[in-house]
Structure 1
Amino acid sequence: MTHRRIAVRLLAGVVAAVAAAGLAACGTAEEALPDNQVVAEPPRPIGMQDPAIVPTGPAASSGSCDPRASLRPSGSLPRPRQMPAGTAMATIVQRGRLIVGVDQNNYQFGFRDPLTGQLTGFDVDIAREIARGLFGDPGRIQFRAISSADRITAVQEGTVDLVVRTMTMNCERWQQVSFSTEYFTAGQRVLVNRGSGVRRIEDLRDRKVCAAAGSTSIRNIAAKGTRPVSVVNWTDCLVLLQQNQVVAVSTDDSILVGLAAQDPNTEVVGPRFSDEPYGVAISRESPELVRFVNGVLARIRSDGTWTQLYRRWLTSLGPAPAPPVARYRD
C-alpha cells in the first residue's frame, strides 16, 4: 500500500473517529444523545432472506402510489413558537428542541466537521431550516446519529421527530412512515478504484460490492447479481474498498461523490441505474407535521435557500439545478 493511499485511508478513519468522539463531547442543543452512539459493525456477506439488511417489496412506484407526492401545506406557515394547539409542532416547541435523526459519516450530507466537532452538511442544514420554522432559531435542534437500517424504526418508535438522512421515498416505505415532498434527487451508481476496469454495474456480477444494511442500494445491487456485503456506515464501505475486501461500493451518486472526495484514488463510474428521490421521514400519526415541513420546504425552494445550501455543499455534483418540484396528493 502506498504512503498516499495509507494517508487517504487514515483521513477516512479520522472522519469516522471524530464522528464517534463527537457523540461523547460536551452537550449542546445540537449534540446527539449519549445513548445513541453508532458503533461500527464488521462487514459481512448478507443473506437475501434478512429484511433488516435487504428490504423486501417494490423499490419504486408500481402504479399504486406516487412516492414523490406528499400532503399539501395548510396555508401560510404559522409564526415561530406560535404553533396550533394540539399539534405535533406545538409539542416540539413546548419541549424546546426539535429531535432529528441524521447521518454522521456521509461527507457533504451529514458529517462531523473534524475541526469543530459539529454536525454539518446538506441534510443537517435542511433540518436546521425546519427548526428555524418552528422556533425562529435553527440551533434549537438535537441530532441523533442513526444508521440507514434504523431510520424507519426511529420514526415509528418516536425517538426522533423526523429523519433527514438521504432517505429514498418509495411505496413500500410510505406504508411505514410518511414523507415530505422531495428535497433532493439522486441516482445509484458505482465507486471503484481507479484503473479497476469496471465501468458500470453490469461488470460486477458475482463480485463483492459494498452497501449499507437497510438501504435501497443494497437491494438494487443484489438484483443486479452482485455479491452484496453490508456495513452500518458508508465510510466503512470506503475502507473495505481501500483494503481490497470488495471491488466496488454502490449507492446514490450524491453519497459516492463524498466518498470519492476522501480518496482521490477512487472514481464514480457508470450511468445511474435507479431513481432515488429524498424525503424527510415523519410519523404517519402526525400529518400536520408533514404539512408543516412541506411549508418549510416550499419556502426554501422559493426564497433561494435551497440553492444556497446546494452551492455550499454539493457543487462537486455539478452546477446547482432547480430544486425538485413539489408534488401533492391532496
Structure 2
Amino acid sequence: MRRDSVRLGVLAVVAMLAAACGDAGKPVDPAPIGSVQPPQPAHVGGADPSKGGGGTADTSCDPKASLSPNGVGLTGFSAASTMGKIKQRGKLVAGVDQTNFLFGFRNPTTGNLEGFDIDMVKQVAKAIFGSDEGRVQYRAIPSSQRENVLKDHQVDIVVRTFSITCDRKKRLGFSSVYYVAGQRILVDGNSQVKQLSDLSGKRVCATATSTSLTKIATDPSKPVPVSVDNWSDCLVMLQQGQVDAVSTDDVILAGMAAQDPTLKIVGDRFTEENYGIAVPIENDDMVRYVNAVLEGVRNGPWQASYKQWLGSRLPEASPPQATYQ
C-alpha cells in the first residue's frame, strides 16, 4: 500500500507540472531597458588642486637647466655611486608607460615594451652595463604615480613623457631636456573644433597630475577638465563619446591618431613641454651621469629613434640642445 501511495503521489506531481507547461498563461513583460551607457575607466575625476598638475605657473627657476656632466665618465664610476649600486644589482629599474603608442607601449605581437622613451631607457642601461641594453627591469606606471615611485625609491629613473617644471624640480632631479613637445587637441574627425577656446563648457580629457590637465582647468575659455589614470583611458572615452576632446602633448596625440584614423589633431601648439629623465632628488650623481649619456644620444641615436617612431607622423625634428646650471 505504501509503495502504491508513493507512486500515486509522484504521478500527481507530474500531472501538475504537465498542466503548468501546457498552459503558459500571459507572458510577463521584461523590465523596461533604457539607454545603456558604456562603462567609464576607473578613477575618472575632474581637476584636483590637491594633486597639482606640474605647477606650470611657477617661474622661480629655469626648468630646462640641469646639472653639468662635465668631467663625468660613462665608465669608471665608483661602486659607492648610484650607478655603481645599480650595476652591482644587475638591473636598471625604470618607470615607464606601456599605453602610450610610439613613446612607451607594449608590442602586442612580441610582448616587449617599445617606443621613443624606451629607447632612452636602453641608452642609459647600455652605458651603465657596457653595451648590454637589455639589463632593464621595466615598471609600468600610470602618469599619476611618476613622482611617488621615485620618492619611494621603487625605481631608479622615470622616462615617461615627463615635463620638467620648477614645481616638480623642488621634489625630483631632472636631466637636461631630451625632447620638446607641445599641447594640442584630439577630436572626432567630424568635429568642428579648431582650438581650445572652441571647447568652452565641453568635457576635455587629460591624465591626473599632468601639466595638460592644469592647462585645461585654468584656460579662460573654461572647458570642463576630465581626469583619468592613463592616456589610453582618454582615447577610449573619446571613442565612446564620453568626452568631447583629448588635450595633451602632440606626440601622445599622434599615437592615438595612429591607432584610430577616425580621429584628428587640430590647432597649433599652445604650450611647450620639455621632457626630462627624472631621478630621486638626492641622486645628483645620477642626474650628471644621465646628462653625459644624453650628450652621446644627441649625436646619432636620437635621430634614429625619432625616425623610427615619429618621423612619418610629425614634422622633422632635431634633438634639443642641453642647458646646464
Kindly report which structure 2 residues correspond to 1:223-302, keeping only aligned pairs within 5 A, or say none: 223-224=218-219, 225-302=222-299
Q: Does 1:178 align with 2:141?
A: no
- Distance (whole Å) between structure 2 residues aligned to residue 266 and residue 202 of structure 1: 19
Write the deviation string for residues 48-107 of structure 1: whole angstroms up to 9, x where unpaired.
44x22x437x40552x2100000001425232xx42231100000000010000000000
When residues 319 and 274 of structure 1 are mapped into structure 2, their CA distance, relative to the original with a 3 A threshold, is closer
Aligned residue number for residue 27 of structure 1: none
Write the deviation string for residues 118-164 of structure 1: whole angstroms up to 9, x where unpaired.
00100001000000000021001100001111001111110000100
Aligned residue number for residue 44 of structure 2: 44
Aligned residue number for residue 4 of structure 1: none
Aligned residue number for residue 55 of structure 1: 53
When residues 317 and 325 of structure 1 are mapped into structure 2, their CA distance, relative to the original with a 3 A threshold, is farther
Q: Does 1:216 align with 2:211?
A: yes
Which of 315, 319, 322 is the matching residue for 1:323? 319
Partner amino acid, structure 2, of 1:103: D
Larger Rg: 2
- Distance (whole Å) between structure 2 residues aligned to residue 113 and residue 255 of structure 1: 16
2:74, 2:292 within 8 Å by CA — same for their partners in 1?
Answer: no
- Distance (whole Å) between structure 1 residues aligned to residue 74 and residue 250 of structure 2: 36
2:66, 2:174 within 8 Å by CA — same for their partners in 1?
Answer: yes
- Distance (whole Å) between structure 1 residues aligned to residue 82 and residue 308 of structure 2: 31
Which of 63, 70, 82 is the matching residue for 1:67? 63
Identify unmatched segments of 5+ residues in structure 1. Answer: 1-39
SS in 2 for 1:195: coil
When residues 328 and 159 of structure 1 are mapped into structure 2, their CA distance, relative to the original with a 3 A threshold, is same
Aligned residue number for residue 150 of structure 1: 145
1:43, 1:229 within 8 Å by CA — same for their partners in 2?
Answer: no
Which of 119, 123, 132 is the matching residue for 2:117? 123
Residue 320 of structure 1 and its aligned partner are, at CA, apart by 3.5
Residue 306 of structure 1 and its aligned partner are, at CA, apart by 0.6
TM-score, with length taken from structure 1: 0.83
Partner amino acid, structure 2, of 1:55: G
Aligned residue number for residue 195 of structure 1: 190
When residues 140 and 158 of structure 1 are mapped into structure 2, their CA distance, relative to the original with a 3 A threshold, is same
- Distance (whole Å) between structure 1 residues aligned to residue 192 and residue 73 of structure 2: 52
Aligned residue number for residue 304 of structure 2: 308
- Distance (whole Å) between structure 2 residues aligned to residue 156 and residue 48 of structure 1: 21
CA RMSD of aligned residues (A): 1.5
Aligned residue number for residue 23 of structure 1: none
When residues 286 and 45 of structure 1 are mapped into structure 2, their CA distance, relative to the original with a 3 A threshold, is closer
SS in 1 for 2:298: helix
- Distance (whole Å) between structure 1 residues aligned to residue 46 and residue 78 of structure 2: 47
- Distance (whole Å) between structure 1 residues aligned to residue 95 and residue 312 of structure 2: 25
1:192, 1:247 within 8 Å by CA — same for their partners in 2?
Answer: yes
Q: What is the aligned-residue identity percentage? A: 47
- Distance (whole Å) between structure 2 residues aligned to residue 299 and residue 42 of structure 1: 41
Identify unmatched segments of 5+ residues in structure 2. Answer: 1-39
Name the count of aligned residue pairs: 283
Aligned residue number for residue 161 of structure 1: 156
Partner amino acid, structure 1, of 2:66: S
Q: Does 1:112 align with 2:109?
A: no
- Distance (whole Å) between structure 1 residues aligned to residue 88 and residue 96 of structure 2: 22
Partner amino acid, structure 2, of 1:285: E
Write the deviation string for residues 253-279 of structure 1: whole angstroms up to 9, x where unpaired.
010000000110000001111110000
When residues 234 and 139 of structure 1 are mapped into structure 2, their CA distance, relative to the original with a 3 A threshold, is same
- Distance (whole Å) between structure 1 residues aligned to residue 162 and residue 105 of structure 2: 15
Q: Does 1:88 align with 2:85?
A: no
1:128, 1:139 within 8 Å by CA — same for their partners in 2?
Answer: yes
- Distance (whole Å) between structure 1 residues aligned to residue 167 and residue 79 of structure 2: 32
Residue 316 of structure 1 and its aligned partner are, at CA, apart by 3.5
